[in-house]
Amino acid sequence: MKLPELKRQNRRLLFVMLLGLILALVLMSLPLYHFTASVYTKKSGNTVVGDEKYQTVRAEVEALAEDYRAQGFDVEINESVLERVNSKGETTSLVTFSIDQVISRNLFAFLQSALPGGHVFRLMLACAALSVLCAALGCIGEEDVMPRFLSRRAAFLRTAAEVLALLALLAVPVFVMMNNFAFGRQLSLFSQGLMTEGKEALYQKMNLFLFDGAAGEAIEDALAGIKPQHSGMIWLLLPVFAMMILCAVQIRHGAVKSTLLKALLYAFVIVMCLVTLYPYYVMLITAFRSNAETLDMYFLHLFPTKWIWSNLSDIVRRGVPRYLLNSVFVAGGATLLAMLCGIPAAYAMARMNFKGKKAFLGFVIMSQMFSPVVLLIGISQLMTTLHLNDSVVGLMLINAAFNQAFAVWLLRGTFISISPEMEQAALIDGCGTVSALIRVLIPMAAPGIVTALIFVFINAWNEYTISTVLISTAANRPITVGITQFSSFNMIEWQYLFAASLLATIPVVLLFMSIEKHLTAGLTSGGVKG
Amino acid sequence: MNALQGKRKWVPYVWLLPSALLIAVFVIFPILIVFKLSFSEISKAGVIGDFIGFQNYIDAVHLPAFKTVMINTFWWVISVVGISTLLGFIVALVLNQKFHGRKIARSILVFPWATSLVIQASVWNYIIKYEYGSLNNVLLNLGIINQAINWRSSYTVEFIWECGVGIFVTVPFVAFCVLSGLQSIDGSLYEAATVDGAGFWNKLWNITLPLVRPSLTVSTVLNIIYVFNSFPIVYTMTKGAPANKTDTMITYLYMLSFYDRKKGPATALSVIGFLILCVCAGVYMLSVMRKEEEQ
């Protein structure tokens, strides 16, 4: 299949890509970065702006600036005014004059300086260039072939062009962020003396980059007040690379819109997953950091510098196994009870006809509407009467009761979906109703039962409010209440809090993942949330 | 059917008995207790006195924080339910597409739903700490910001964060509800619509929305109830401070009865909350029952 029109179009697209590359190179060679370093400051107290003293100092500074300019430096004069009232009640100002040297650098200067970010910039350049090259190579000899009939070689090269252009695009924000980090945060931490690790090396590189190595020993002072600004121009690289991606996509697939929609879909999913996992990342890394590191304002890493496994043994010593055991007991007992009561009820609802069936259904759904919290006062009163205050058994009973609705509802749905013929056959063979239920129906309904079981377990495991109110003895706490002992009013031991949280979270998340599919089906028929 | 039931009419009720008993004792009975207490005089020590009519209700309405708390509760429910329904719907639409790693994405989305709210709230509490929180740390280390940002500069901002965490944990539930509705839609409907020249928005409006409306109704009403009842997020992140400015009704009544020892007004508030829930529950039951009848 040969199309002269396609040939023309591909050539045009390649040309645009090349143009994009040239445009990017031009942008990079512009002086996009400005640094303002103060080379001289003069303070003048007890003055009023515009008075005689001010004029003298101003002239003095200006003369000095002229000197600098004569030596070939690009300097400007800045003044800042601080007003204050002196002992006589007069308002005077403290005027600070500073001679600032403006240093402009383009992006290619990074290549020589070996500053952090340099290799990202190199990668960006290489990707952009290679992308054009790959696209061109992928077109040679097959310029006029429809995308879906391309040879394997050409298809691979054109895909590579797309991916490389995308990498170049992604490198832009990474590069900017690395620069901001080095010139903003790292430098300010160094100059405030809050950090010393790696200071010499960075200073040397900056010296090379900003002053061509001329600053020598004075580099520390020169960098102390430095203010980096990059003009917004650098972001123009983004549309340039985006245009290159569009061209590459058109060359590879022919259809830009559907490809971009697909890319958008993946981008959305990736962002969603990152946001969802972020708190779990925080929980994980904080659980293994030392106490000092969790409270460190100047923590410069995304992961712990040393994984402190002893946090785990520390929380074991502080009662966490006991809390986990309580939770297992409460959640396990509640699940067992909810099932023992729920299965017969669901069976009757699914298989028998009787008066008041609808009313019972309403009764069950109603009970699901009330979280224990609104009824806290009533429940605590009831528990005191039953002498179940501060006991694990009491918690178990309440969790079973408040999860009854879901159990009955989901099980009823499962039972209805199974045809009653097998049980009827069993009954005719002389089984009682109970043994027909146990031997025939329950094995067949196993997936639904397991789903209900796990869901009730998770709900009971995660329950917090009732437990805080009812449980006052430390030894009876379930894990959700137990972890709060690590966050007292004046001190929070984050590493222990999150290590215990991690232990409490992993099992339920795994359990939940295993029933997600069945639960989704049961949800819209039953409609219950934890 | 009747072969299973036998001839004795009382048999079904025996099967129902354990379940009914459990619900009656631990759900219905506390409701009655709360009702009774709300009309009784209760001393600071918790001793229950005589019938005093509506005095507790009058006290409750005249509490200094009553108005703030009610307004907060309103915003809390509206914003969390509204925004998470919208987001959840979008997430469900995306997850309903075919793409690589769909199973992994679905498993990841389960995380916030399966995690205990106290734990979730504690983690966010750490994330938005000003001095050493993870969000500032990550943003600073990535070079996105140069100066630590105070994420909890005022109680309004803190309340917005609480709503944000509420939304974060509610979106998966909505998404999975809508997803199950989406998966039951017959694919040939879309094909027919495409043949007729319907665009994306047209299909969304005329096919998808009407067909997932039942699941959306269920999830929305349930969310209203659960978000209204939600306690751990607000309690863990701010404890309602400063001066009940970030309290919702549920955390407020907890503080009232277990910290301030004002059990009387607290029970009255409980009953008010109970009545609000009753209205929601009624709406929910009507919609579920109607769906039952359709099947």
ipTM: 0.89
Does A501 contact B270 at a Cβ distance shorter than 8 Å?
Answer: no
Residue A521 pLDDT: 64
Would residue A352 be called left, alpha or beta, if left means φ above 0 and alpha means ψ between -120 and 50 degrees? Answer: beta
* CB neighbour class for A351 (10 Å; exposed up to 12, middle 13-18, buried from 19): buried
Partner residue opposite B132 with nearest CB, options A297, A301, A353: A297
Confidence at residue A528, expressed as pLDDT on a 0 to 100 scale: 40
Which residues, in sequence order, are bridge partners of residue A81? A95
CATH 1.20.1600.10 is held by the domain B56-294: no
pLDDT of the residue at A530: 34
Name residue B263's amino acid.
K
Taking only the tens place, the pLDDT of each residue in B190-206 is: 888 888 888 888 888 88
pLDDT of residue B75: 94
Per-residue pLDDT at A522: 64
Mean per-residue pLDDT for B95-107? 89
B89: pLDDT confidence band, cut at 50, 70 and 90?
Answer: very high
Tally of residues, chain A: 530
C-alpha distances (whole Å) from A252 to each of A141, A167, B58 are: 15, 17, 73
Digit-coded pLDDT (tens) for A167-226? 999 998 888 888 877 777 777 777 777 777 777 777 877 777 777 777 666 777 777 667
Collect all residues of chain A within an 8 Å Cβ-Cβ radius of residue B29.
378, 382
Q: C-alpha angle B240/B242/B247, rounded to 5°?
A: 25
> In terms of C-beta density within 10 A (0-12 exposed, 13-18 middle, 19 or more buried), how is residue B230 classed?
buried
Per-residue pLDDT, A22: 93
Tell me: pLDDT of B181 over 90: no
Residues in chain B: 295
pLDDT of residue A529: 36
CB contact under 8 A, B110 and A516: yes
Residue A146 pLDDT: 79
Q: Are A265 and A259 in contact (CB under 8 A)?
A: no
Digit-coded pLDDT (tens) for B22-78 = 999 988 888 888 888 888 888 776 677 778 888 888 888 888 888 999 999 999 999
For B295, nearest residue in chain A (alpha carbons): A525
Chain B interface includes A508 (CB < 8 A): yes
Residues A354-385: b if buried by 16+ CB within 10 A, e if exposed: beeeeebbebbbbbbbbbbbbbbbbbbbbbee
Mean pLDDT score of chain B, rounded to an integer?
Answer: 85
Q: Which amino acid is at B192?
A: A
- pLDDT at res. A523: 60
Chain-chain contact of A279 with B142 (C-beta, under 8 angstroms): no
Q: Which residues of B touch A348 (CB under 8 A)?
A: 12, 15-16
Q: For A303-348, write each residue's pLDDT tens digit.
A: 888 888 888 898 888 889 999 999 999 999 999 999 999 999 999 8
Q: What is the pLDDT of residue A503?
A: 92
CB atoms within 10 A of CB A118: 20
Q: Which amino acid is located at B44 in the chain?
A: K
Residue of B38, B91, B119 to mutate, interface with A, max A Cβ within 10 Å? B119
pLDDT digits (tens, 9 = 90+) for B107-119: 999 899 889 999 9
State how far the alpha carbon of B122 is from the alpha carbons of A431, A493, A502, B131, B239, in Å: 54, 12, 12, 16, 12
pLDDT 10s per residue in chain A (530 long)?
456 778 888 888 899 999 999 999 998 888 877 777 777 777 777 777 777 778 888 888 888 888 878 877 777 787 777 777 777 777 777 788 888 777 787 877 777 777 777 888 889 999 999 999 999 888 887 777 777 788 888 889 999 999 999 999 999 888 888 887 777 777 777 777 777 777 777 787 777 777 777 766 677 777 766 766 666 788 888 999 999 999 988 888 887 888 888 889 999 999 999 999 999 999 999 999 888 888 877 777 778 888 888 888 988 888 899 999 999 999 999 999 999 999 999 998 888 888 888 888 878 877 777 777 778 888 888 888 888 888 899 999 999 998 888 888 888 888 888 888 888 888 888 888 888 888 888 888 888 888 888 889 988 999 998 898 888 888 899 999 999 888 877 788 899 999 999 999 999 999 888 887 777 666 655 444 33
- Chain B closest CA to A433's CA: distance in Å? 6
What residues 262-291 of chain A have any CB closer than 8 A to a CB of chain B? 262, 265-266, 268-269, 272-273, 276-280, 282-283, 286
Chain A residues close to B28, C-beta within 8 Å: 367
Beta carbons of A182 and A115 less than 8 angstroms apart: yes
Question: Which whole number is the average pLDDT over B227-249?
Answer: 87
Query: What's the confidence (pLDDT) of residue B1?
Result: 45
**pLDDT at residue A496, rounded to an integer:** 92
Selected residue of A454, A524, A525 to mutate for chain B interface (largest B Cβ count, 10 A): A524
Task: Using the Cα atoms of residue A187, residue A191, residue A193 and residue A194 in order, give the sign of their dihedral.
Answer: negative
Give dist(CA A142, CA A164) in Å, integer. 20
- The residue extents of the domains of chain B are 56-294
